Structure 1
Amino acid sequence: MLTLTEAAYLAGIIDGEGTITLSKMHLTENRRPIISIASTDKELLVYIKQLVGGYITTKKNYNPASHKDSFVLTIKNKKDIFSTLNYIVPYLRITQKKKRATLILEKYDKLTSRNGKYTPEKLVLKQQFEEEFLSIK
């Protein structure tokens, strides 16, 4: 559970350095929500990971002489994503990110089959949701 201060702080980090998107984990599956935050400050990402979960990876540094190492916190777990979005939506200021977060909270669960199998009609609705989401720029 995030405090109001933590939720507002995290929203600011996501507004500035984060991404709220839909991504495919495997070629044959539908897109699922992901939150990611890139930073050269690993300590910041470790702190956020302690708050909301996820995992941290190191990005490849092709020019270490002039670039700092960079890291990415990725949150893929559905429970962690929904919990995080519920806390931070009121504090998001970037319109695209607020709209995307709200759309996930309002529609994703209703349009997503638990077993990944869809009737043709439900598949069309799921694809329309993905198109609506990805058109938010």
Structure 2
Amino acid sequence: MFGKSVANYRKVNALSDIDAAYIAGLIDGEGTVSLLRKHKQDNRQVVVSISNTDRPLINYLLEAIGAGKATGKRTYSERHTPSFTYAITNRHALDLLRQVAPHLRTYKARRTELLLADYIRLTPRNGRYSLAGALERAAFIEAFFAIEP
């Protein structure tokens, strides 16, 4: 492989039905299913996140799912409990949502259904949109955010 490094891409693990249901409960209760931008000029991407003050729970998510990342949140007062966030993005997030979708019970189930049905079709890998594609994606994003609690 003449000087090229081999990327070690993580894959989302196949979850047992029990783990999928548990993680769906965490997403419904303390998580988000959203379309976010990393930077102002970027296109929106799928993000699933779960925040909690229990670091072992966040570690469980990392281990069970096999992809994503955990970050700590800054505390500004000694009275505040340190909290942590697990986040998974893009196609990894879609892989996770595919597995937990049957167990979601809140408005996040409807958002997940919309994402799984249309996100890949409306998101070219090169990020270049035709005018018609851009308009269809804009309508998709509007419909996604119209699904509220």
**TM-score bracket relative to the smaller structure:** over 0.9
1:31 is matched with 44
- Counterpart secondary structure, 1:15: helix
Structure 1: give runs of 5+ residues left out of the alignment.
none
Residue 77 of structure 1 and its aligned partner are, at CA, apart by: 4.2
Q: Which has the larger radius of gyration?
A: 2
Contact 2:46–2:94 at 8 Å: present in 1 too? no
Identical amino acids, percent of aligned pairs: 37
CA distance in 2: counterparts of 1:32 and 1:58, whole angstroms: 22
Q: CA RMSD in A?
A: 1.0
- The equivalent of 1:99 in structure 2 is 110
Question: Structure 1: which 4+ aligned runs deviate by more than 3 Å?
Answer: none
Aligned to 2:6: none
Whether the 8 Å contact between 2:45 and 2:90 is mirrored in structure 1 is no
Q: Counterparts in 2 of 1:27-106, with a 5 A limit?
A: 27-52=40-65, 53-64=67-78, 66-78=79-91, 80-94=92-106, 96-106=107-117
Query: Are the equivalent residues in 1 in contact too, given 2:48–2:87 (CA < 8 A)?
Result: yes
Count of residues paired in the alignment: 134
Q: Secondary structure at the match of 1:75?
A: strand
Could you tell me whether the CA contact under 8 Å between 1:40 and 1:69 is conserved in 2?
A: yes
User: Unaligned stretches of 5+ in structure 2?
Assistant: 1-13
Q: Of Structure 1 and Structure 2, which has the larger fraction of its residues in helix?
A: 1
TM-score (norm 2): 0.87
